[in-house]
Amino acid sequence: MSSIETGSLAKGTTHPRASTSQELHTRPPSKTVKPGRSTQKSGPRGNPVWRALQLAEPMTPQGLLLACKRRWKPALLIGIPAAVLAAAAAWVLVPAYYTSFALLKVASTEPRLVFKKAESEQSFDTYRQTQMAMIQSRFVLNAALRRPGISELETIRTKAFPLEWLEENIVVGTYNSPEILKISLAGGHPEDITKIVNAVKDAFLDEVVLADRKQRIARLNELERIHSETEEKVRQKEQRVESLAKELGTGDSQALSIKHQMALEQISLLRREHARVRFELMRAQINEQSVGAAGVEADLPVLLGSSPEAGVALGASPGKSQAALTANRITQLQALISRYEAQVVDQNHPTLQKYRDELQQLQASTGSVETSGGEAHGSRLDILKRQEKLLAEELEKYSDLVKNIGSSSFELELMKSDIAQISKVSDQVGSEMESHRIELKSPTRITLMQEAEIPQVLDLGKKKKLTGAAGIGAIGFVFLAISLIEFHSRRITDPQDISQTLGLDLLGSLPAMPKPLIKFWEQPKESRMALWNNALIEAVDSTRSILLHDPDVEQRRVLMVASAAAQEGKTTFACQLAGSLARAGRKTVLVDFDLRRPRAHELLNVPLELGLSELLSEKLDVQTVLHSTSESCLSVIPAGRVNEAALQSIAQNGADWLFEELKKEFEFVIVDSSPILYVADGASVGRNVDGAIMVVRSHASRLPAVAVACERIEMLGIDLIGGVMVGVQSNLSGYGYSYDYHYGTTSG
């Protein structure tokens, strides 16, 4: 973060941690609650580590990439050997097999010779997928294993469950085209797998493809059977129609209607004639009874209802009335015979022949009557009886004929309708039968394209893929594991983590030192170091300005620069802050209380001996351990040679007398303390400071550790002023125009 961004924190006139000098030394440990932080100690929510983890960035791909970026070098150093080992193990352990395959061609549309049918692309895809599933079905695989010689193969004999093994290893897919199916199998015995593939192919062709053709043949046979049955029904009904036509004398519906009408008319005539003859017969019978009885002459006029002359006349000419009846009947028979001969096709029809015979008999009887010149009254009665009998027989015969014509004509029409319908069905079946018979000659939709051949070369494709996958997977696993470990370490990567997550005031951010090989072609290394040095000084000066603009600056003269762990930029910032205060005209002293790993003397170019350790252990004068620097207002007390006496003195009273002496001579005392979490010296010294500044290093300091360190400082009653981030990546081009300050660096 640039100095402009940090300078915005100096706005405002009141610091949240402002306190009087008396309060600074007498306040209890829990006197102040920092906004955004919690001092509760009951339950996990009072734990600062828990709160820091809750507020930290959740796991995201960007966060993992950033974690990988921070640790890509160790990940690469571990991942490359792991990838090599994994690839080598895969190459050794994964066997190489031979692969044998057969090819089948599936036509996109069903091949037909004459009758074409539209096939959609979707139906072809469905058909192809169905055939692929059929090849891998247990029905086909069982048929393949049952073929001669397959079960004796070593590849099959060594398997406990050959069907399951074949079902798992047989591969069916397309080959360079959607219309070509590939049946492949991999194994260590090339001859065996070739025979197995061919067996599967043959079983599929026989059990599925040829079975479909057999179904077509069976359907054709069924159609032929149905066609024969319908033809037989038509023939039977036609024979029945022919029989009815012979029986009725015609098969024409119109002729049958005329014949039926004529029969009805004849029945009407016969009924009238029969009634007349019966009347004549009754008169003759009465007459005969009158003649045979006594007093016929007396009673005859009464019986006849006429005069005796009429009775004489009737008795005198009995043959004349009989001759008239016979002549009338002859005329009727001649008319009937003429009409029947005109309408009926069969001129020898039984009914027509009966009429002819009756006509001949009447004509013969008429001649005998005329020859005899009259007969007795009894012969006329006999003739009337015969006529009445013949007429009754004729009437019954014509009645039966009318009934027969009605029922037979209805049956005839029904037969003709049935014949038409059955003939239509027979024609459709015959058409379908002929189309099937023709299309049976067309080729099958699935044809063999290539038999499986014995492979000669091992198939290393799968082995190479698995080896490459093992290597890539190993290095990927290493990178992912390190990224996860690094991400869960919760390193602080952004200055906002100090203010938003930890709840500290961000006092400033120091730019990271430029890497030697980044954009070396743009500017020389010395120029970039000079830019970084200027940016560092400007950032520290911004932090100094914030501290000096605090209204409680007079009560914060002793400042401790702390960090949670080592190597987080604590000493560098302490030296730079002390130098910045000195440049501002404030008389400042830097005390190096990091006795175990002192570095302030190196940065400020002063000797290590005669420092704090000697002062505390040998009770020397403070002036003897003060070392001057190039800045007139800056003095340094180095750590000296650490000894047990100095450590005991710090543990007992925190060198409180030293701070009282230094505050009399200097405006600011900057304390470079030891890491808070690992050494107790910082806590002992903290009892004598007015405030503490927490230093964190970007991409190095861990959020839980910093949160615990901040909590420990507040538990000691130390006023935690804010935090400073060291090593922030920033653009240095804006710091080209600057003064030539330097402390512990080369200004160029």
pLDDT for residue 650 is more than 70: yes
57 band by pLDDT with thresholds 50, 70 and 90: low
Alpha helices for 293-345 (secondary structure H): 296-304, 308-316, 318-343
- With 60 as the cut, is the pLDDT of residue 255 above it? yes
Buried b (16+ CB within 10 A) or exposed e, 345-358: eeeeeebbeebbeb
Pairing mode, strands 558-562 and 691-697:
parallel
Q: Where is pLDDT greater, at 656 or 497?
A: 656
Q: Helices in 520-655 by DSSP H: which ranges?
A: 525-548, 570-583, 600-604, 612-618, 622-625, 644-653
Residue 511 has pLDDT above 60, yes or no: yes
Query: Average of pLDDT values for 65-91?
Result: 86
Looking at residue 215, what is its pLDDT?
78
Cβ atoms of residues 554 and 687 within 8 Å = no
Interhelix angle 253-292/377-439, rounded to 10 degrees, is 160
Higher pLDDT, 337 or 10: 337
What's the mean per-residue pLDDT of the chain?
Answer: 77
- Between strands 446-450 and 691-697, the pairing is unpaired
Both tokens of 507, joined, read 């006092």
More confident residue, 372 or 676: 676
Total Cβ atoms within 10 A of residue 115: 11
Q: For 436-447, give one letter per residue: b (16+ CB within 10 A) or e.
A: beebeeeeebbe
CB 703 within 8 A of CB 732: no
Q: What is the distance between the alpha carbons of residues 468 and 453, in angstroms, rounded to a whole number?
A: 29
pLDDT for res 679: 84
Which has the higher per-residue pLDDT, 515 or 38?
515
Closest CA to 707 of 35, 38, 52: 52
Q: How many CB atoms lie within 10 A of CB 238?
A: 14
Angstrom CA distances, 592 to 129, 201, 601, stand at 80, 87, 8
Q: Which residue has the tokens 């001129």?
A: 347
324 or 716: which carries more pLDDT confidence?
A: 716
Query: Of 57-61, 184-188, 670-674, 736-740, where does mean pLDDT reach its minimum?
Result: 736-740
Q: Which amino acid is at 454?
A: I
pLDDT band at 596 (very low <50, low <70, confident <90, very high): confident
Extents of the domains making up the chain: 21-56+552-735, 72-95+461-486, 98-217+443-450, 253-418
- Residues of 448-457 as b/e, b for ≥16 C-beta within 10 angstroms? eeeebeebee
d(CA 685, CA 486): 33
Report the amino acid identity of residue 683. Answer: A
| The token pair that represents 346 in the structure block | 């069969």
- C-alpha–C-alpha distance, residues 194 and 450, integer Å: 12
Please give the model's pTM, rounded to 2 decimal places. Answer: 0.48
Q: Render pLDDT for 481-501 as a digit per residue (tens, 0 to 9).
A: 888 887 777 778 778 878 877
Residue 328: phi, psi to the nearest 5? Answer: -65, -40
pLDDT of residue 12: 32
How far is Cα 281 from Cα 95, in angstroms, rounded to an integer? 126
**What is the pLDDT, as a whole number, of residue 346?**
66
Mean pLDDT lowest among 290-294, 306-310, 723-727: 306-310
Cα–Cα distance for residue pair 282/305, rounded to 1 Å: 15
Query: CB-hemisphere CA count at 13 Å for 259?
Result: 30
Token pair 């070369």 is at which residue?
A: 457
Pairing of strands 446-450, 98-106: antiparallel
For the segment 473-480, the average pLDDT, to the nearest whole number, is 90
pLDDT by residue (tens digit) across 169-213?
Answer: 999 999 988 999 999 999 889 999 999 999 999 999 988 888 877
CATH superfamily placement of domain 21-56+552-735:
P-loop containing nucleotide triphosphate hydrolases (3.40.50.300)
Best-predicted range by mean pLDDT among 248-252, 579-583, 680-684, 728-732?
A: 579-583
What is the spatial distance between Cα 286 and Cα 301, in angstroms, rounded to a whole number? 13
Task: Compute, in degrees rounded to 10, the torsion defined by CA atoms 361, 366, 368, 369.
Answer: 140
What separation, in Å, do the N-terminal and C-terminal C-alpha atoms of the chain show?
A: 23
pLDDT at 323: 66
Q: What mean pLDDT do residues 371-379 have?
A: 48
Average pLDDT over every residue of 581-585: 93
pLDDT bin (cut points 50, 70, 90) of residue 418 is: confident
* pLDDT-derived band at 367, boundaries 50, 70, 90: low
Residue 309, pLDDT > 60, answer no
Listed residue (703, 718, 720) closest to 564, CA to CA: 703
Which is more confident, 527 or 655? 655
| 455 neighbors 194 (Cβ within 8 angstroms) | yes
Q: Is the pLDDT of residue 519 over 50?
A: no
Residues 6+ apart with CB under 8 A from 130: none
Token representation of residue 177: 């085209």
> Alpha-carbon Rg of the chain, whole angstroms?
66
pLDDT of residue 164: 93
Q: Which CATH class is domain 98-217+443-450?
A: alpha beta
pLDDT beyond 60 at 3: no
Closest by CA to 405, choosing from 549, 514, 252, is 252
Of the two residues 367 and 211, the one the predictor is more confident about is 211
Contact 682, 565 (CB under 8 A): no
Angstrom distances, CA of residue 614 to CA of 183, 601, 642, 655, 685: 89, 15, 8, 13, 17
Structure tokens at 164: 């399951």
Query: Average pLDDT in the 81-105 region?
Result: 90
Q: What is the pLDDT of residue 74?
A: 84
